[in-house]
Every structure is written in C-alpha cells, then in structure tokens.
Amino acid sequence: MTSLVLGLLVQGVLFGLALRAVLPGQQRWTIAQTVGIGIVGWMVFGFVLRAVFGALTALILPLLVLGGVYLFVAQRRGTARRW
C-alpha cells in the first residue's frame, strides 16, 4: 500500500507538470497549485482504479491516460511529432 501511495504521488507531480506544459497560454496558478491539483486528482483516480481493477493497474493505467491526454493536446496544438 505504501508503494502504491508513493507511486501515485510521483505520478501526480509528473501529471501536474505535464499538464502545465501542454496547456497553451499563460496560467494564473502557481506551479505548487498545479502540482497539488495533479497529486489530488491522480490519488483519487489511482484509488478508484485500485478498488476496481487492482494495484498494478492503478499504477500503469494512469500513465497510459497521461500519454493519451498529452498526445491529444499536442495534436490539437499542432506540435505532435510525426514518426
């Protein structure tokens, strides 16, 4: 359980920073507020996934969702890399 919480905390920080990076324009929130929102959202998302699917899925599936959100926003902005 401790490793799940630590993993979700780290992922929440990364999620908050990544969303701040991909959203266009000037943000009115501080970096600490953005990271805080990312951590809270990620923890709720992770615990719901753990209750439904199990611990491993709660750590892996949010990363896949983050990648999908990043690609979606990057394509809409026209900054997605073409392989």
The string of DSSP letters for 13-74 reads HHHHHHHHHHS-S--SS-HHHHHHHHHHHHHHHHHHHHHHH-HHHHHHHHHHHHHHHHHHHH
Q: Check if the beta carbon of residue 50 is closer than 8 Å to that of residue 4.
A: yes
pLDDT one-digit tens code per residue, 12-67: 888 777 777 777 677 787 878 878 887 888 778 778 877 888 777 777 777 787 77
Could you tell me the residue ranges of all domains in the chain? 2-77
Choose between 70 and 41: higher pLDDT: 41
* Residue 38 neighbours by CB under 8 Å, 6+ apart: 12, 13, 14, 15, 16, 17, 19
Q: pLDDT band at residue 83, thresholds of 50, 70 and 90? A: low
